[in-house]
């Protein structure tokens, strides 16, 4: 319960800080090179994209690997059978992280 | 990112400036050349393989050592087990396209590990082309196996659910093309970019660790593409009892 209070107060704090973003009205026109608000938000978005994706992907792959190790420990003779499905499932989970990475590249490409 | 793209263009040999940012990658003419070289090499290898097979027609015991027949047998046997498992007893009808995909993607990926070459699969266009071919082949095989009733598959299990199922199935089918493309592209591009960055930032022989990982990634991604194509074919031609 306390964690939820923290979470929501952080969210409200972020919303309260949004007045910073209203400093320059001017959209695409204000897009000079360097560290203006647009570029800053783009960089932040790219970083957050890959960070969250990597977190979720690592979590899922960790669970897959741990159950595979457990099964292998119970029955070491099943190792030849187990290798390929394990590799395939890891690659399929990882592909979701790769989608997020490509989006991050696209966002970074828009930074002037 | 502009510096990375510049480093990338030095490595990848890009020559186009009319797209900007990330999409300068999509107008690069070099991957066409590289994939053409790979296709040419594959055709030469297969012609040699045919000649060797005809020379030794009927012999049961293979020659020891590294010759062309053993090479192809090894590379094909890595995936034929999966094809047989997924497609069932008439898997031989789909072997031309599946084995072509497997060999083509594998060789393209591995060519990226040569120091001044980029893999042709690190470009969105190569992957998109292969994914579109797989998409068209799925529907072709489905119609060939089931006739026009193949399209009933899009309507779901129960007739009154059809208006809901049809958009979902269509989006799922187009998402397959996108996912095949982006999975292979992301893996190859990111891997190559990481090696390129480390090459420019650190001493010349440090990226060998990444290139070793890169060999594994090449193999696994080619395998995943082939196996997913097989699964899509098997879904298209499956007999619903």
Rounded Cα distance between A61 and A15, Å, is 34
Asked if residue B13 has pLDDT above 80, the reply is no
Q: What phi and psi values does residue B60 have, to the nearest 5 degrees?
A: -90, -35
Rounded Cα distance between A42 and B57, Å, is 63
Number of structural domains found in chain B:
1
Q: Cβ–Cβ of B22/A109 closer than 8 Å?
A: yes
For chain B, say whether A43 makes contact (Cβ under 8 Å): no
Residue B77 lies in a domain: yes
Q: Which of residues 82-101 of A touch B (CB under 8 A)?
A: 84, 87-88, 91-92, 95, 98-99, 101
CATH numbers and ranges of domains, chain A: 51-112 (1.20.20.10)
Residue B106 lies in a domain: yes
How many helices (H) does chain B have, and how many strands (E)? 7, 0
Rounded Cα distance between B138 and B50, Å, is 29
Residue B241 lies in a domain: no
Confidence of residue B97 (pLDDT cuts 50, 70, 90): very high
Residue B101 lies in a domain: yes
Instruction: Select the residue of A87, A102, A108 nearest B185 (Cβ to Cβ).
Output: A102
Which residues, 6+ apart, have CB-to-CB distance to A107 below 8 Å?
A: A42, A45, A46, A49
Rounded Cα distance between B164 and B155, Å, is 8
Average pLDDT, chain A: 84
For chain B, say whether A102 makes contact (Cβ under 8 Å): yes
Give tens-digit pLDDT for A19-39. 555 555 555 555 677 788 888
Contact (CB, 8 A) for B95 and B76: no
Which of B82 and A111 is assigned the larger pLDDT?
Answer: B82
For tokens 């269509």, name the residue.
Answer: B170
Give tens-digit pLDDT for A38-64. 889 999 999 999 999 999 999 999 999
Confidence of residue B19 (pLDDT cuts 50, 70, 90): low
CA dist list (Å): B28 to A101, A104, B119, B234: 21, 20, 12, 35
* 3-class secondary structure, B186: helix
Domain with B143, as residue range(s), is: 2-236
Work out the average pLDDT over B70-77.
Answer: 88
How high is the pLDDT of residue B12?
A: 46
Q: Cβ–Cβ of A101/B179 closer than 8 Å?
A: no
Which residues, 6+ apart, have CB-to-CB distance to B20 below 8 Å?
A: A109
Give tens-digit pLDDT for B101-125. 999 999 999 888 887 778 888 888 8
Instruction: Select the residue of A91, A101, A110 nearest B190 (Cβ to Cβ).
Output: A101
For chain A, say whether B213 makes contact (Cβ under 8 Å): no
Asked if residue B157 has pLDDT above 60, the reply is yes
Which of B46 and B24 is assigned the larger pLDDT?
Answer: B46
CA dist list (Å): B73 to B11, B80, B97, B139: 34, 10, 17, 30
DSSP codes, chain A: -HHHHHHHHHHHHHHHGGGGGGS---GGGG--SSS-HHHHHHHHHHHHHHHHHHHHHHHHHHHHHHHHHHHHHH-GGGHHHHHHHHHHHHHHHHHHHHHHHHHHHHHHHT--
Query: In A, which residues are within 8 Å of B179 by CB distance?
Result: 95, 99
Give tens-digit pLDDT for B208-239. 777 888 888 888 899 999 999 999 998 888 86
Please state the length of chain A: 112
Rounded Cα distance between A74 and A82, Å, is 12
Rounded Cα distance between B53 and B69, Å, is 7
CA distance B208 to chain A (A): 22
Residue B56 lies in a domain: yes
Rounded Cα distance between B75 and B197, Å, is 31
Q: Cβ–Cβ of A88/B21 closer than 8 Å?
A: no
For chain B, say whether A48 makes contact (Cβ under 8 Å): no
Work out the average pLDDT over A84-109.
Answer: 89
């Amino acid at each position: 319960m306390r964690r939820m209070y923290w979470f929501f107060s952080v969210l409200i704090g972020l919303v309260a800080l949004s007045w910073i973003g209203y400093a320059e009205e001017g959209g695409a026109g204000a897009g000079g090179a360097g560290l203006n608000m647009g570029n800053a938000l783009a960089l932040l978005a790219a970083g957050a994209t890959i960070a969250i994706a990597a977190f979720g992907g690592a979590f899922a792959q960790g669970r897959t690997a741990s159950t595979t190790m457990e099964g292998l420990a119970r029955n070491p003779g099943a190792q030849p059978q187990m290798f390929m499905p394990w590799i395939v499932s890891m690659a399929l989970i990882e592909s979701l992280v790769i989608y997020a990475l490509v989006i991050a590249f696209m966002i970074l490409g828009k930074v002037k | 990112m502009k510096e990375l793209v510049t480093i990338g263009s030095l490595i990848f040999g890009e020559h186009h400036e009319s797209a900007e940012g990330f999409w300068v990658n999509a107008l690069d003419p070099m991957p066409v050349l590289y994939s053409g070289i790979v296709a040419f090499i594959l055709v030469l290898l297969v012609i040699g393989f045919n000649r060797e097979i005809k020379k030794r027609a009927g012999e049961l015991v293979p020659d020891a050592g590294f010759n062309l027949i053993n090479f192809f047998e090894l590379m094909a046997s890595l995936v034929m087990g999966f094809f047989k498992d997924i497609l069932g007893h008439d898997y031989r009808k789909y072997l031309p396209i599946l084995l072509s995909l497997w060999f083509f993607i594998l060789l393209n990926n591995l060519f990226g590990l040569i120091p001044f070459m980029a893999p042709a699969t690190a470009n969105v266009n190569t992957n998109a082309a292969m994914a579109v071919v797989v998409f068209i082949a799925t529907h072709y095989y489905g119609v060939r196996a089931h006739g026009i009733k193949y399209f009933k598959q899009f309507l779901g299990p129960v007739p009154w659910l059809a208006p809901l199922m049809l958009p979902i199935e269509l989006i799922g089918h187009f998402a397959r093309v996108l996912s095949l493309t982006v999975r292979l592209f992301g893996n190859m591009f990111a891997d190559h970019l990481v090696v390129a960055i480390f090459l420019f930032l650190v001493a010349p022989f440090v990226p060998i660790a990444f290139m070793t990982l890169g060999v594994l990634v090449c193999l696994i991604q080619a395998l995943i593409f082939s196996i997913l194509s097989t699964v899509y074919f098997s879904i298209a031609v499956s007999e619903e009892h």
